[in-house]
Amino acid sequence: MSYVLYRLATAVVVLFGVSLVTFGFVHATPGDPAETILIEQTGQQPSSEAVEEFREAEGMNDPVHHQYVDWVTGAVHGDLGQSYFSDAEVSSLILDDLYNTLELAVASILVALVIAVPTGIASAIHQGQPIDVTSQIGALIGVSMPNFWLGYLLIIVFALNLNMFPVAGSGGLEHLILPAIALGTGMAAIVTRLVRTSMLEVIDQEYIDTARSKGLKERIVVYKHALRNALIPVVTVVGLQLGFVLNGAVVIEIVFQRPGLGNLLVDAIFARNYPVVQGVVLVAAVTFVVSNLLVDLSYRYLDPRIKLGESQQ
Amino acid sequence: MSGTNADTETEASVSTQSTWRDFLDEIRYNPLTLAGTLIVAFLFAVAIVGPVLTPYDPTSQDLANGLQPPSLAHPFGTDQLGRDMLTRIVYGARFSLGIAIAVTSIRVVLGTTVGLVAGYVGGWVDEFLMRLVDIQLAFPGLILALVIAGVLGPSLRNVMIALAIVGWATYARVVRGNVLSVKERDYVAASRLLGTPPRRITKRHLLPNAINPVIVLATLNLGTVVLATAGLSFLGLGAQPPTPEWGTMLASGRNHLRDAWWIVNIPGVAIMLTVLGFNLLGDGLRDTLDPKQQSRLEEI
Amino acid sequence: MSDPLLSVENLHTQFRTPEGPVNAVNGATFTVEAGEIVGLVGESGSGKSVTARSIMGLESPGEIVEGDIVFDSVDLTEAPEATRRRARGTSMSMVFQDPNTSLNPVFDVGEQIAESLKIHESPDSQSLLDYLHVPLVSDRREWQEHRKRAIELMEQVGIADADDRVGHYPHEFSGGMRQRAMLAIALAAQPELLIADEPTTALDTTTQARILDRIRDLRDAFDTAVLLITHDLGVVAETCDRVVVLYGGEVMESGPVERVLSDPQHPYTQGLLDCLPRRSDRGSPLPAIEGSVLDSGNSTPGCPFASRCEYATEACRVSDPPTIRPERSRRVVCGELDTVRQDAESERNAAQPRVDGGDRSIERASQERHEADVQTSGTIGKDGTGRASGWENPESRSDDTTVESETPLLEIDGVSKTFDVTGSRLERVFGQRQLLGAVDEISFRIDAGETVGLVGESGSGKSTLASVIAGLESPTEGEVRFDGATVGTVEERTPEQLSEFGFVFQNPTESLNPRMTVRETLAEPLRERNWETEQQDRRIAELLELVGLSSKHAARRPHELSGGQLQRVAIARAIALEPSVVILDEPVSALDVSIQAKILNLLLELQERLGLTYLVISHDLEVVHHIADRVLVMYLGKVMERGPANALFESPAHPYTEALFEAIPTLEDDGTAQPLSGAIPSPVDPPDGCVFHTRCPMAEEQCRREEPSFETIAGSHSRCHFAEDVTEEPAEPTIEPDNP
């Protein structure tokens, strides 16, 4: 129990740091955002009175730490401020797009697991044989391929030439499949390699010989005794890969012109729409921290050697 | 045999073997490592001498010759502005490799220093530095780099800064973990018994024994940085046109997917080959430098 | 005579390596009869584990390339995998060396035993879903039945509270308990043959004794044949009926245990027995087998031992030696047996009571020697001179008869060391600290030139005490004085004081920097003292010569040296700055028997040449007995007994010391020892009164309440209320006078 509390406490510390960094970066920007925004909004050089008025209205003249406290207090209550360019609440903008991004993330993780776990096991069991060599080379290529290029390749082949899927947009399964494959492949490659290594390591352990010495069939030795142990590190990495998926989602959403947090973020960055940028980064980081926390705690559940309540190491 | 104290009073017949020799063996016996080494060597050769050899200028436009498919005059075709793709790819290698090396070096130096200090000093210093690491790792890397690059303004230099800020924490973790385990080794205790000051213990015992995973990680990281640089440029936050950067080139092919496949695919292949080369080389180095692999043989 | 249960005939098991195929087993031939305990003995590299694995069908990645393994009249080498698997499930079982790695960490112990029961019942119909306990597919009633029987099995192997512990995971068990659980798994198959591969090597001596007991009991109860693989001849003597000596993957000698051990015929067996510390005079060099274990698997003809054998002739090297049967049921594979025998004969005639035929003259001889020693030490005790005078104890001055004559070289004064082992940071914040008392108020002194032995099981605090003395840890209380001056931690010591201490660690592969050459390792202390390069080179050459290495080793890195050579380098480093005290922390426990002997010889020789003072920490009483003048026995951070080595080893005055002795498997024992019950209590919460009372066979009410002080009995100091009774008790067989 106390480990959970300790872990929660560090998560809070990390989130505090995250908010500080997010806020800090945006406020350390060269140039006056107020002026930039007014130029953007009106299309002409604003008068210094207009700039001053805007700054006052947006709270930009308050001391920095006040602005930070206001922002964090708001964030905790689900209020991330307002977009500079519309009356929309940042939080509602994010909520609108969050679903799309999560849908893509979950789909691509599924794609990755469906490919990776069986391939990794087969690869480990048949170490050095053709199936292993093929899957290892496949995994290496998968790891090395930029996902935006894979996205275009998929579009060229399946959307433009075979007309099986739409080129872009969102809604429905047919809009999800290509992006999920483009995003899931890289992760599949990583997880395949991991399952293979983990499996090979476990198969070398003496308790596997114990299982064999009992007269168990090899199939049961592999799928009961080895797999359960081999999956422990895999779960951790898959959890941590959520960050990887969020990174990739930004790019893939651009490739497939899919609405989502990625599109929102990139647009906001170019428009210097800071409340939105801050909001998206904060949400991404919180998602990431929380998922890491969950993985860490579930890891302790999966591995009886690590009891809840024990300290690290 | 596979027992605990694998001590055979064998007069070891192996002569002095350096890591370098081990790596040459690895190249000889593992075709994948050989392939990786060749790819990386080839890329560096291209980046260094390539621009001298190409007859075209990477940025001069020739609109009349736009969207030419691959031919003898233009082996990789031309882009929508009529620029020779091969020339641009060759120049692009300089950017990709240069940035990869620069960014990785900064990450290694920063991360290793933090890891060494945290691991050796311990206490609240360790606690503080590791929370910094946690915070850095709490951001999905590319998203943070995206914001930093966006805030600083799109340019290759800012991409470098952004990527360096984003990636050092992994090294810190790895080095700290290694230092913590090496610190407990008896040879460090033996050195402490002589009164050797911490700085010399670090230099003589900790660093050399904790650095192997860093070399492996750095090699693999070169590939990741190439990918990230291309990704940021692809999003428009890195190199700006007309710079012949692979990610930018790929992005510019967006509207010609149907009629000029080479514009996206050739930079795509270039990026993939580069990353593949570094990955293969990194795997090979891991085989050479990771003592776990060597103990496999001793168990027999 | 009916067919034996197991018959291994000319077995060759091969491994492929980048350097070509290697035969780990190279023609081994032996049998195991039903109900018989056979010891398979050999040093590491002898192929004993691979032999066991080949019998079980676990030789992969090796491959049986030649020979037969006939079990229950079936040749397993030719049988299909299904047959071998059925044999594993129903009639043979294996217990592995390290119980920490041989149990699956993610299943509870009950599951792992129940599974074995299930296989035994229906070895041929195993369905994955059933074994994964998928609801509806698997038979829950059967499973519950198996778990119930698992509890019975756990009780049978001596796991207390089996009801409760059946649901525990392996990590919640102690090492000894894990090995019992492993034994329960093995027994679930009701095997006809149990193969135990070094089943007690990873355990403490007292735990080892109990596990071996259990194996013998099980044989007696179920008539199970046991193939016991071990490097420890003492274990063989205590447990086995027959012994098979393996070297280089070939059998050197086999026969009934009492015959082979009392009258070894093969030169290798003779050598192995001679290297045991207890077989020779205390403090004198141990006979060592020259040379080193060959790379196993030279499949060339010739005796594998020829290169190290003093009797070897050209014929031994080029052709396979003949198998000779000196008597019924004994086999010796040696080409020069006549010469060996003649040699033994002439030695006997020369009144050298070496290993000789038939009777136990060696025991008698050593017994006489022991008795003589006791007398000598008695005299020393009385007039207060000689080596054994150093028992000045500031804590209990009154019970010491000696007068403090001079400043001791090293004085440990009331040293305690506690560690903070508070589990979580949260508890730390709330001040609920848990303290582990590793060392509790220990005082003793060491005089120049003597050797003090520190004995105890793991967890007794002996290594922590060594770290405090060396200055790696600071004492929580008390102090260490060197030459009268208080010395603190290494950070507080002067360079001169630091140079006075040498330290040799247990595991040489851990104690040498893998990236530094031998020269660099040896130069480190010299560089720290700012020696000139030229001086350094001279000193390094000198050091290498001192520890018996040659200059060609200087350029090597640790992975290019053997364990024995590594320990020599570690010793050279320890003496590089000409220290007066060398602390030896388990200096030979990571080494093979024949190498142990060489390292012990080296240590004795160095002490003589350089006038060193030794503090030897070891769990191995025989090693301590061999080299120490005085001994301290530690338990739970406290000294239980201390005294001159002879007195203490002849007539222990503390029940713990006595129990430690009884637990050692010795060549002479016949298995009547009463092993210590229970486990070492947690040092976080040590028992009240005498810390040993929870396991002491003599404990009474007084022991639970009052902590005893030191009693002086027969030259030793014992921290026991009933010290007198201990010495009066009939001594155990090892030291019982074996009057003819």
Are the Cβ atoms of C423 and A311 closer than 8 angstroms?
yes
Are the Cβ atoms of A211 and C104 closer than 8 angstroms?
yes
pLDDT at residue C297 is higher than 70: no
Nearest Cα to C628, choosing from C385, C449, C453, C378? C453
Average pLDDT over residues C578-598: 89
| A151 and A40, same domain (yes or no) | no
Are the Cβ atoms of A210 and C86 closer than 8 angstroms?
no
Our measurement of the distance from residue C236's CA atom to the centroid of its chain's CA atoms, rounded to an integer in Å, reads 13
C659-704 pLDDT, tens digit per residue, is 888 877 777 655 455 667 777 777 777 888 888 888 888 888 888 8
C555 min Cα distance to partner chain B (Å): 7
Average pLDDT over residues A53-60: 78
Taking the C-alpha atoms of residue A275 and residue A264, their distance in angstroms, rounded to an integer, is 12
Taking one residue from A and the other from C, the number of pairs with CB-CB distance under 8 angstroms is: 104
C161-212 pLDDT, tens digit per residue, is 888 889 998 888 888 889 999 999 999 988 999 999 988 887 777 788 888 8
| A18 and A162, same domain (yes or no) | no
As a whole number, the mean pLDDT across chain C is 82
| Identity of the residue in A6, A210, A220 whose CB atom sits nearest the CB atom of C126 | A220
C109 min Cα distance to partner chain B (Å): 24
Three-state DSSP state, C631: strand
| A237 and A189, same domain (yes or no) | yes
Task: Give pLDDT, residue A171.
Answer: 76
**Residues of chain B positioned with their CB less than 8 A from the CB of C470:** 193
Indicate the residue among A31, A62, A90 that finishes a domain.
A90
Q: Which residues of C touch A (CB under 8 A)?
A: 53, 56-58, 85-90, 93-94, 96, 98, 101-108, 112, 115-116, 119-120, 123, 126, 128, 131-132, 169, 171, 182, 185-186, 189, 423-427
Q: In a mutagenesis test of the A interface, which of C59, C88, C131 is the best target, namely the one with the most A β-carbons within 10 Å?
A: C131
pLDDT at residue C522 is higher than 90: yes
Q: What is the dihedral of CA C157, C162, C167, C169, to 10 degrees?
A: -50
Taking the C-alpha atoms of residue C315 and residue C140, their distance in angstroms, rounded to an integer, is 66
**Residues of chain C positioned with their CB less than 8 A from the CB of A303:** 105-106
Taking the C-alpha atoms of residue C174 and residue C102, their distance in angstroms, rounded to an integer, is 13
- Which of A256-260, B223-227, B257-261, C611-615 comes out lowest in average pLDDT? B257-261
Bridging pattern class, strands C323-324 and C331-333: antiparallel
Q: In a mutagenesis test of the C interface, which of A217, A227, A231, A299 is the best target, namely the one with the most C β-carbons within 10 Å?
A: A217
Taking the C-alpha atoms of residue A173 and residue A103, their distance in angstroms, rounded to an integer, is 10
C296 min Cα distance to partner chain B (Å): 9
Task: Give pLDDT, residue B72.
Answer: 81
The pairs formed by A80-84 with CB atoms below 8 angstroms and a separation of 24 or more are A80/A275, A80/A278, A80/A279, A80/A282, A81/A275, A81/A278, A81/A279, A82/A275, A83/A273, A83/A275, A83/A276, A84/A37, A84/A41, A84/A58, A84/A271, A84/A272, A84/A273, A84/A274, A84/A275, A84/A276
- Number of folded domains in chain A? 2
| A195 and A166, same domain (yes or no) | yes
Task: Give pLDDT, residue C46.
Answer: 84
Task: Give pLDDT, residue C324.
Answer: 87
Task: Give pLDDT, residue C281.
Answer: 63
Task: Give pLDDT, residue B63.
Answer: 80
**Residues of chain A positioned with their CB less than 8 A from the CB of C168:** none
| A153 and A230, same domain (yes or no) | yes
pLDDT at residue C404 is higher than 80: no
Question: Chain A residue with minimal CA distance to B260?
Answer: A156
**Residues of chain A positioned with their CB less than 8 A from the CB of B240:** none
Question: Chain C residue with minimal CA distance to B298?
Answer: C17
Within an 8 Å CB–CB cutoff, is residue A270 touching chain B? Answer: yes
End-to-end CA distance of chain C: 36
| A140 and A258, same domain (yes or no) | yes
CATH number among 3.30.499.10, 3.40.50.720, 3.40.50.150, 1.10.3720.10, domain B2-289? 1.10.3720.10
Q: In a mutagenesis test of the A interface, which of C426, C427, C430, C433 is the best target, namely the one with the most A β-carbons within 10 Å?
A: C426
Is residue B164 within 8 A of residue B110, CB to CB? The reply is yes
Task: Give pLDDT, residue A12.
Answer: 86
Within an 8 Å CB–CB cutoff, is residue C569 touching chain B? Answer: no
What are C111's two structure tokens? 């599951």
Task: Give pLDDT, residue A122.
Answer: 94
Q: Where are the alpha helices (DSSP H) in C611-718?
A: 621-627, 645-650, 655-663, 701-705
| A48 and A158, same domain (yes or no) | no
C544 min Cα distance to partner chain B (Å): 16
The pLDDT-based confidence of A53 (bands split at 50, 70, 90) is confident
As a whole number, the mean pLDDT across chain A is 85
Bridging pattern class, strands C716-718 and C711-713: antiparallel
| Identity of the residue in A152, A247, A248 whose CB atom sits nearest the CB atom of B264 | A152
More confident residue, C70 or C61: C70
| A57 and A139, same domain (yes or no) | no
Indicate the residue among A73, A90, A107 that finishes a domain.
A90
B194 min Cα distance to partner chain A (Å): 29
**Residues of chain A positioned with their CB less than 8 A from the CB of B150:** 269-270, 277
Are the Cβ atoms of A310 and C423 closer than 8 angstroms?
yes
| A145 and A78, same domain (yes or no) | no
Beta-sheet strands, E only, within C101-216: 193-197
| A81 and A144, same domain (yes or no) | no
- In chain C, the domains with their CATH numbers are 109-186 (no CATH), 267-389 (no CATH), 410-422+432-631 (3.40.50.300), 652-728 (no CATH)
Domain that holds residue A27: 2-90
Task: Give pLDDT, residue C352.
Answer: 45
**Residues of chain A positioned with their CB less than 8 A from the CB of B233:** none
Are the Cβ atoms of C18 and B29 closer than 8 angstroms?
yes
pLDDT at residue A308 is higher than 80: no
What are A106's two structure tokens? 């979950």
C482-508 pLDDT, tens digit per residue, is 998 999 899 999 999 999 999 999 888
Within an 8 Å CB–CB cutoff, is residue B184 touching chain C? Answer: no
Starting at the edge strand found earlier in the chain, the sheet holding C711-713 runs: C501-504, C581-585, C613-618, C451-455, C630-635, C638-644, C716-718, C711-713
What is the C-alpha radius of gyration for chain A, rounded to an integer number of angstroms? 24
pTM: 0.79
Indicate the residue among A47, A69, A90 that finishes a domain.
A90
| Identity of the residue in B139, B237, B257 whose CB atom sits nearest the CB atom of A152 | B257
Taking one residue from B and the other from C, the number of pairs with CB-CB distance under 8 angstroms is: 134
This model of the complex carries an ipTM of 0.84
The pLDDT-based confidence of C371 (bands split at 50, 70, 90) is very low
Task: Give pLDDT, residue B296.
Answer: 31
| Identity of the residue in A29, A144, A152 whose CB atom sits nearest the CB atom of B223 | A144
Give the DSSP per-residue string, B132-201: HHHHHHHS-HHHHHHHHHHHH-SSHHHHHHHHHHHHHHHHHHHHHHHHHHHHTSHHHHHHHHTT--HHHH
| Identity of the residue in B6, B193, B204 whose CB atom sits nearest the CB atom of C44 | B6
Mean pLDDT per 10-residue segment, chain B (300 residues): 32 44 79 91 91 81 81 83 87 92 95 91 88 83 86 87 89 88 89 91 87 87 92 89 89 85 91 94 82 34
| Identity of the residue in A215, A220, A304 whose CB atom sits nearest the CB atom of C88 | A215
Are the Cβ atoms of B272 and A141 closer than 8 angstroms?
yes
* CATH number reported for the structural domain that contains residue A292 in this entry: 1.10.3720.10
| A73 and A117, same domain (yes or no) | no
Taking the C-alpha atoms of residue C331 and residue C114, their distance in angstroms, rounded to an integer, is 42
Neighbours of chain B (3+ CB pairs under 8 A): A, C
Task: Give pLDDT, residue B58.
Answer: 84
Average pLDDT over residues C598-627: 91
Are the Cβ atoms of B4 and C201 closer than 8 angstroms?
yes
Task: Give pLDDT, residue C226.
Answer: 95
Taking the C-alpha atoms of residue B95 and residue B230, their distance in angstroms, rounded to an integer, is 10
| A37 and A130, same domain (yes or no) | no
A270-281 pLDDT, tens digit per residue, is 888 888 888 998
Please report, for chain C, how many H helices and E strands are present, in that order: 28, 24
Three-state DSSP state, C102: helix
The contacts of residue C160 (CB under 8 Å, 6+ apart) are none
How much of chain C exceeds pLDDT 70, in percent?
85
**C 165-224 residues inside an 8 A Cβ radius of B:** 198, 201-202
Within an 8 Å CB–CB cutoff, is residue B253 touching chain A? Answer: yes
Question: Chain B residue with minimal CA distance to A283?
Answer: B139
